[in-house]
Structure 1
Amino acid sequence: MSNQRMLLTVGAVTMVAGVIIGAIIGHFATSSTSATLPNKNSLTSQESEELELMSQLRRDRWQEGGKEMTRRINDMVSTDNLRDNLKELTRRPHLAGTARDDELAEMVRDRFTEAGFDTADLVPYRVLLSRPNATNPNLISLNSGQNVEWESHYKEKELHQDDYDEDFVHAFNAYSPAGTVTTTPGEGVIYVNYARVEDYEELDKMGVNISGHIVICRYGKIYRGNKIQNSERWGATGVIIFSDPKDVAVEGQTPQEIYPNTWWLPGSGMQRGTTYMGDGDPLTPGWPSTENAYRISKEEADLPKIPCQPIGYDDAKVILEKLEGPAAPSDWIGGIENVAYTLGPEWKPEYSTWTLTLSTHNTENIYRSYNVIGTIKGEVEPDRYIILGNHRDAWGYGASDPSSGTAQMLESARVFGELMKEGWRPRRTIVFCNWGAEEYGLLGSQEWVEEHTNKLQARGVAYVNVDTCASGPIFRGRSSPILWDILEEMTKVVPGTKGQDNLSLHDEWSAYTKWKSGVDSIPLATLGAGSDHAPFAFFAGVPSMDYAFKVDSHKWNISTYPAYHTGYETFYMVDKHIDPGFKIHQGCSRLALHILRYLADSSMLPYSIEQMPKTMAKALKDLKIEGIDSKLINIYDKYVLLEEAVDNFTVEAINFEKSLQDISPNISPVTLRAINDQMMQLEQIFIMPSGLPGRPMTRHAVFAPSQFDTYAAAAFPGISDLLYLIDELSGKDLTKRQNEIRRHISDLTIMTQNARKLLKEMHII
């Protein structure tokens, strides 16, 4: 971004200044349509004061702070503070809605207050949460007649002195219903790899009938809720999910090769997690779950219908080694030692009379869960919000997810507090949001966004999400396309985290990308779901960003860090194996501070408007490469109008960006304010009030998660959803689907045309 553009100043107003500016504009605009102001020497004292106010409103605080402020922030972020924060946050388990979670909410609030925030509040919601039965644990058993030959474990083995806590929740998958299912004698389970759609389709081709059977699958590749959904669709009666050593213990399974000696997962580690496919409280879809909110019944909520239970790979071995049946495809074979990975469902001859029983005892009840909301009031534009979010709740100790991000938030709050004591105050309001009950399905953030949608759509500049700061050494950032340049530029002012002198975080990011893929460009990507940016981006249309330091996916072909959501995600794990020295935490906090200040203090919002239509155009080009465009044209010949609309939008966005370079530094603050508002509204053009087809809570028509893997990002998700399995339809079902496609393409075309019109001169409707 050019210095010229950075120096442009937004017409920002406080409530009082707004009235004064109106008088100023009226005063100076009566004699001329030019934005150039009179010579100071010709003004009265009152006019001079008014002119000084306009100058104040034009000031670009980001530029004024300059390199000194950047250096100051980098120096202020303390690794010792970050380590102390994480140690306290992970001292006890803090499942959503528990007493310890409430204690931490109060601690976060108090830290915001101590930092000098203008407000720091606990915001409660009453939400439906799922819990296992503490006295009747979920179990999988192998039975010979009436004899129980073996039972699964429901807690991890204690391998390090800090592993055990009496309040650590038993292994379970949230919202999996209570129920008991048993196989027929001689049959166990069917191994279905990762339980993806393509895995089930492969089993269909092999003639393996899932209906009426319990299935066992590996964690990874897709969201666990999609695994349950797919298994239900293929007729399974229950699901067992395990973490396979090929994904979590790549270097071996001996004691020296796993936790506590390394970061790799031991065989008793069990990944907890939600199976809910929605976002927000299941009983108050679309509306905040306040005290007196109307709630639908649990039967009406979109919750899983079949029981599911996670186990460790030691227990998975006991089951899998007894299966016969066809051999699994070669790429389905995992890493459990001495297991052939046959599909089942038959047992080996020596177990021919055995059965397997899956028994869950989970309950759902309404609990209070707190969000913590702290604000630093903007001095010039208090009604414009730059929002930082991180959730607080964890399935256990949550040392990486989310406590590494919460440790960062507390340190970032402290640094801003110190800057305020030194006289700094942001131009725009900065909001710190510490969410509750994220792990259950983004409950805290979704409810808050639902309660404040109108405000956020009118005033939200950007949302920055930092869920997990440290789960590995490799930086990864995703965002709305109009925030890509901000993300990349701010990594250039953050020192690298690997201890190499004079290298920035951007240098490390770029070097890793070149090593991994051989290209020099930074891998900027759109957002998937799975964390608290989702309601801002996909429901409200607020430009959003999510970043983290993650596992080296080039070195290790694994989905996530091994201890994810297990009893071994401890302070010791992070301190010893993931981020000794807390340099990653430090880089994470520095980046948050710089992004927030850049967005809060730049007079003109530093969006990259043209990135949006360019990304849309690339998505359409990909459809063409895959031959999907011809299928769409056969269904709706006006599909070409969507391509034309995207091309026109691209041209308009490029022209709009160029026009910003020509704006006079003396332009009216009100006009600059209007330009910022114009850019803020762009993302919301693509928010569909009724949501995507069949998905009312996902409303972004251009960039949103795939329906079949909520972790993954997708461009034009409605098109891919509607094309799914269309070749299997006929008659009225096919006609109905084709009409839905026609309507959706028409909607996309109109929205894109409206986006182009939004960028025209403001007086043109």
Structure 2
Amino acid sequence: MQVSHWLPCFSQDTVKQHDLSVDPRNGKISSFRCPIIPQNLPSVIPSDCTTKMSQDLENQPLLATRSGRSIGSQSRPPHKIVTIQRQRHHGRTWCRMAAFSAIGLTVVAIFNAMFWPRSSLSRDISWFRGNKLPSAEIERLILESPEPDRIREHSKYYTSDPHLAGRNFQQVEYTKAKLEEYGFNVKIETYPVYINYPLEHRLALLEEGSDDAIAFEATLEEDILEEDPTTGIANRVPTFHGYSASGNVTAEIVYANYGTHEDYLNLVAKGVSVEGKIVLVRYGKIFRGLKVKGAQDLGAIGVIMYSDLADDGEVTVENGYAAYPDGPARNPSAVQRGSVQYMSLCPGDPTTPGYASKPDSPRTDPYECVPRIPSLPVSWKEAQPFLKALEGNGLGAPDMGDDWSGASKYNYSTGPSVAKVNLYNLQNTTISPIWNVIAELPGHTKSSEIIIGNHHDAWIAGGAGDPNSGSAALLELARTFYVLKQQGWKPLRSIVLASWDGEEYGLLGSTEWAEDYADTLKKRVIAYLNVDVAVAGHSLEASGSPLLERLFRATLGKLHTPEGDSLIENWKKSSQKAILYPPGSGSDFTVFQCHLGVPTLDFGFGPNKTDAVYHYHSNYDSFHWMDNYVSDSWEYHSLVVKILGLMTVQLADDPVMDLRVSEYARSVRYYIENIKKMVPKEWLNEKTSSIAANFHKIEKTIGEFKGKAGKFDGLMESYSRRLNHDYPWYRSWHKILLYFHIAQANQKVKYIERSFTREEGLDNGRGWFKHIIFAPGYWTGYSGIPFPGLVEAIDANDIETTEKWQEIVLEKLEKIIDCLD
């Protein structure tokens, strides 16, 4: 803005005195030190300044006019007009504002840099993976989402029709559709496998002294019950044994108790031969296929198996309980079907041991893994005539041992019987496709995954306990994860749900798939959780790798039974110390634990002493039986879903893998202490062998393992705590360093289980079993025998092989100690 004032002209001295600046182009005063203020504001103009300036100007020539034209002194009027320009500098004002703003922002930035933003590695990982759900909310949804009514409906569908392996595509499609509905990426994996289906069978007791006159012929059928609809469907599955050989044999019978290795040795020691005979055995203690193998190895030509009421505990008709369907006791016509493959030698397709069964796969002789002699299962009711035929022949139960007799009124004589038995079994042995349903929920990282598995095939139309209590739970688990996803959850690691086919014949589906993808699975899988018979009673039972024991126990600590009891206390009643039993075989965890070296957990609720008798592999393992005698509220099924959900999310989401090595060290020490007690005393004489010295080295190394494991677990715990520590941005390098430390530790703990595998596998034709600690016993099939190579060498009185396995154990322990460093 320009302001003009009428003032006297300034002399050159005045200009100099008052430090006035005059623009030579126009004669205007551009600046001055002494304030020249408009005359209407006299109060701000110093009087001495204005007076002096006026006097000076009176005697000076005109310097400039408004137009800037020079005027001589001769024509100077008494007063002239001078123009004074007063300027407001807008640029300077904005500069000042900008400077003050910059200073303020700098102060705020410094404050924020020191105190905000502050972030933890845990939050950063959650943000990067796109997860919007906090841990507490995830846990709440897992505990609240499972719906018993949905589980019941799934069970009702699965158990409504027969679903033998390779003949259950309807159930396969149902499973696939449900998993897709719940947001999983689903595919069906097909494998052509060697398998058998029943055609004809007959079991007859002949008249004494006759080869054709029949005294009794078994129906080989279970009673049709009006109350239980699936027991009478037209296409119900006949009673038979999977992988039983076809044959038509006639011979006397010999009773061999449970048909264990010890039972057969007992017969041999007592001079009772089974060569050329048909052997009668009862179910229990060991896998049924090994009962047949034991008889075959001694020259028997056939085997009959039955279920003895003495093995049903307290719940029997004799103790006042009514038989099913009127009560919880065993229906006397119940028959246990099942496979007679040699489970402890070679699970999976017996013609492709160690490699996947595909259309172009070479096939070997199956009879290294399955029997050459026929066998048939019968009921308790139809076993009585055969026990009666043995009575008084051979040795009696008192001669054979305390556990030789059962619940029959007959005396369990060894025989051989006088009367002969005709056993006829005709099987259709073929190559048939089986179908695995594999569903993936991708995580943020594709390099690690957790697998949860159950099988969908069954020997019968029912299978409400085995396997479809687990099948129904698996689908509800999938729906629970879907609920989490809808709320913004995304797992850190991938989750795979697997519905296997062919488990009942010999773990076919899981074994072929794992052999097919072995290299990938060894790199990626953190843990495999198996749920087979999820619910058949109310007593929690569990086996698995010690690496998962702490997590399993912590999960149980958050839950209660439907009756309100502590789940930990429930577990203690079945396992005494609430510890995991060593894994053996008998379900789909086998290939992961024993072949690949992946830590596994297998659990479910089985019958306690007062629960209804479980009709295993019988038509009476039905929806009606489950709904009326086991879990009418289906809350135990829901509890299985919660256990699986909590464990899976912990394994999938926790940046620090929740596997603890200290539990492993404790278990290894316990196993070795028990094995040492089995060693003959003379072997511990250092003069005759190095066995005593080797045990001392092993025990010392286990001590080192325990120490290293404790330190490693402590380190993992410290990483877990630091995960939630907030760091300012200028200390981000701490988080980066922590991230790489955790990744390194995770890689180590991930391969602890693999470190106990040995490429050559076990001895005695058991090369498929690679794990040196966990495998089924050679003559048990189901139950795990820790350090089986060492145990079997001791049992065989083989000092040289015992020393070999001691060295193998020592080598593996030292390797793991180095890894933990």
Q: Matches of 1:427 and 1:233 in 2, distance apart? A: 52
Aligned partner of residue 514 in structure 2, secondary structure: helix
Q: Matches of 2:650 and 2:682 in 1, distance apart? A: 44
The one-letter code matched in structure 2 to 1:710 is G
The one-letter code matched in structure 2 to 1:86 is S
Q: Matches of 1:52 and 1:198 in 2, distance apart? A: 60
- 2:451 is the counterpart of 1:387: yes
Q: State whether residues 465 and 533 of structure 2, in contact with CA within 8 Å, keep that contact through their aligned partners in structure 1.
A: yes
Residue number in structure 1 paired with 2:268: 204
Q: State whether residues 133 and 487 of structure 2, in contact with CA within 8 Å, keep that contact through their aligned partners in structure 1.
A: no
Residue number in structure 2 paired with 1:756: 817
The C-alpha deviation readout for 1:673-696, integer Å capped at 9, x for no partner, is 121111000110111112111211
Using the TM superposition, give the Cα deviation of residue 273 of structure 1 relative to its aligned residue in structure 2, in angstroms.
0.4
Residue number in structure 2 paired with 1:16: none
Identify the match of residue 122 of structure 1 among 188, 204, 208: 188
Using the TM superposition, give the Cα deviation of residue 421 of structure 1 relative to its aligned residue in structure 2, in angstroms.
1.3
Residue number in structure 2 paired with 1:345: 416
- 2:527 is the counterpart of 1:483: no
The C-alpha deviation readout for 1:204-258, integer Å capped at 9, x for no partner, is 3332222222110110111101111211223222111001121248421799721
Q: Matches of 1:604 and 1:167 in 2, distance apart? A: 51
Using the TM superposition, give the Cα deviation of residue 385 of structure 1 relative to its aligned residue in structure 2, in angstroms.
0.6
Q: State whether residues 228 and 304 of structure 1, in contact with CA within 8 Å, keep that contact through their aligned partners in structure 2.
A: yes
Residue number in structure 2 paired with 1:191: 255
Gap change, CA 1:415 and 1:193, over 3 Å in 2: same
Q: State whether residues 205 and 386 of structure 2, in contact with CA within 8 Å, keep that contact through their aligned partners in structure 1.
A: no
Q: Matches of 2:667 and 2:132 in 1, distance apart? A: 29
Pairs aligned (count): 678
- 2:431 is the counterpart of 1:366: yes
TM-score (norm 1): 0.84
- Of 155-164 and 528-537, more deviation after overlay is shown by 155-164
Residue number in structure 1 paired with 2:608: 552
Identify the match of residue 762 of structure 2 among 689, 692, 698: 692
The C-alpha deviation readout for 1:652-708, integer Å capped at 9, x for no partner, is 111212233444543332331121111000110111112111211111101222111
The one-letter code matched in structure 1 to 2:597 is G
Identify the match of residue 474 of structure 1 among 529, 539, 546: 539
Structure 1 residues 71-150: aligned runs within 5 Å: 71-98=140-167, 101-117=168-184, 119-133=185-199, 136-143=200-207, 144-150=210-216
Using the TM superposition, give the Cα deviation of residue 507 of structure 1 relative to its aligned residue in structure 2, in angstroms.
4.3
Residue number in structure 2 paired with 1:308: 375
Q: Matches of 1:525 and 1:263 in 2, distance apart? A: 28
Identify the match of residue 506 of structure 1 among 565, 568, 576: 568
Aligned partner of residue 143 in structure 2, secondary structure: helix
The one-letter code matched in structure 1 to 2:625 is M
Using the TM superposition, give the Cα deviation of residue 174 of structure 1 relative to its aligned residue in structure 2, in angstroms.
1.2
Residue number in structure 2 paired with 1:581: 633
Q: Matches of 2:112 and 2:121 in 1, distance apart? A: 14
Identify the match of residue 808 of structure 2 among 731, 747, 763: 747
Aligned partner of residue 358 in structure 2, secondary structure: coil
Q: State whether residues 194 and 218 of structure 1, in contact with CA within 8 Å, keep that contact through their aligned partners in structure 2.
A: yes
Using the TM superposition, give the Cα deviation of residue 69 of structure 1 relative to its aligned residue in structure 2, in angstroms.
2.6
- Of 322-331 and 194-203, more deviation after overlay is shown by 322-331
Structure 1 residues 551-570: aligned runs within 5 Å: 551-553=607-609, 561-570=613-622
Runs of 4+ off more than 6 Å: 40-45, 48-54, 58-64, 253-256
Q: Matches of 1:473 and 1:355 in 2, distance apart? A: 43
Gap change, CA 1:66 and 1:668, over 3 Å in 2: closer
Gap change, CA 1:399 and 1:253, over 3 Å in 2: farther
Gap change, CA 1:288 and 1:52, over 3 Å in 2: same
Q: Matches of 1:745 and 1:166 in 2, distance apart? A: 57
Residue number in structure 1 paired with 2:403: 331
Q: State whether residues 675 and 791 of structure 2, in contact with CA within 8 Å, keep that contact through their aligned partners in structure 1.
A: no
Q: Matches of 2:163 and 2:373 in 1, distance apart? A: 27
- Of 641-650 and 275-284, more deviation after overlay is shown by 641-650
The one-letter code matched in structure 2 to 1:198 is E
The C-alpha deviation readout for 1:371-402, integer Å capped at 9, x for no partner, is 000010002x2221111000010000211000
Q: Matches of 1:604 and 1:479 in 2, distance apart? A: 21
Aligned partner of residue 353 in structure 2, secondary structure: coil
Using the TM superposition, give the Cα deviation of residue 544 of structure 1 relative to its aligned residue in structure 2, in angstroms.
0.5
RMSD over aligned Cα atoms = 2.8
Q: State whether residues 138 and 172 of structure 1, in contact with CA within 8 Å, keep that contact through their aligned partners in structure 2.
A: no
Identify the match of residue 705 of structure 1 among 756, 766, 776: 776
Aligned partner of residue 283 in structure 1, secondary structure: coil
Identify the match of residue 608 of structure 1 among 660, 667, 672: 660
Aligned partner of residue 128 in structure 1, secondary structure: strand
- 2:752 is the counterpart of 1:682: yes
Identify the match of residue 593 of structure 1 among 621, 645, 663: 645
The C-alpha deviation readout for 1:62-116, integer Å capped at 9, x for no partner, is 9973443322211111010011110001001100001xx1111111111110001
Q: Matches of 1:606 and 1:630 in 2, distance apart? A: 44
- 2:322 is the counterpart of 1:257: yes
Q: Matches of 1:104 and 1:372 in 2, distance apart? A: 10
Residue number in structure 2 paired with 1:290: 358
Gap change, CA 1:80 and 1:706, over 3 Å in 2: same
Residue number in structure 2 paired with 1:220: 284
Aligned partner of residue 403 in structure 2, secondary structure: helix
TM-score (norm 2): 0.78
The C-alpha deviation readout for 1:699-751, integer Å capped at 9, x for no partner, is 1101222111011111111111222333xxxxxxxxxx544333222222111
Using the TM superposition, give the Cα deviation of residue 201 of structure 1 relative to its aligned residue in structure 2, in angstroms.
2.5
Aligned partner of residue 783 in structure 2, secondary structure: strand
Residue number in structure 1 paired with 2:670: 618
Residue number in structure 1 paired with 2:526: 461
Gap change, CA 1:751 and 1:167, over 3 Å in 2: same
Q: Matches of 1:91 and 1:485 in 2, distance apart? A: 39
Q: Matches of 2:635 and 2:120 in 1, distance apart? A: 44
Q: State whether residues 138 and 361 of structure 1, in contact with CA within 8 Å, keep that contact through their aligned partners in structure 2.
A: no
Aligned partner of residue 710 in structure 1, secondary structure: coil
Q: State whether residues 141 and 358 of structure 1, in contact with CA within 8 Å, keep that contact through their aligned partners in structure 2.
A: no
The C-alpha deviation readout for 1:311-335, integer Å capped at 9, x for no partner, is 0111110111122222113532211
- Of 290-299 and 171-180, more deviation after overlay is shown by 290-299
Q: Matches of 1:441 and 1:506 in 2, distance apart? A: 32
Gap change, CA 1:137 and 1:203, over 3 Å in 2: closer
Residue number in structure 1 paired with 2:706: 650
Q: State whether residues 550 and 561 of structure 1, in contact with CA within 8 Å, keep that contact through their aligned partners in structure 2.
A: no
Q: State whether residues 545 and 580 of structure 2, in contact with CA within 8 Å, keep that contact through their aligned partners in structure 1.
A: no
Q: State whether residues 529 and 710 of structure 1, in contact with CA within 8 Å, keep that contact through their aligned partners in structure 2.
A: yes
Q: Matches of 2:581 and 2:776 in 1, distance apart? A: 12
Larger Rg: 2
Larger relative contact order (Cα-Cα within 8 Å, sequence gap ≥ 6): 1
Q: Matches of 2:626 and 2:660 in 1, distance apart? A: 36
Gap change, CA 1:491 and 1:256, over 3 Å in 2: closer
Residue number in structure 2 paired with 1:36: none
Aligned partner of residue 689 in structure 1, secondary structure: coil
Q: State whether residues 132 and 489 of structure 2, in contact with CA within 8 Å, keep that contact through their aligned partners in structure 1.
A: no
Q: Matches of 1:672 and 1:542 in 2, distance apart? A: 20
Gap change, CA 1:435 and 1:49, over 3 Å in 2: farther
Q: Matches of 1:385 and 1:86 in 2, distance apart? A: 28
Uncovered stretches (5+) of structure 2, i.e. residues with no partner = 1-107, 724-734
Q: Matches of 2:690 and 2:299 in 1, distance apart? A: 34
The C-alpha deviation readout for 1:290-325, integer Å capped at 9, x for no partner, is 2221212335x4211221111011111011112222
Q: Matches of 1:44 and 1:285 in 2, distance apart? A: 64
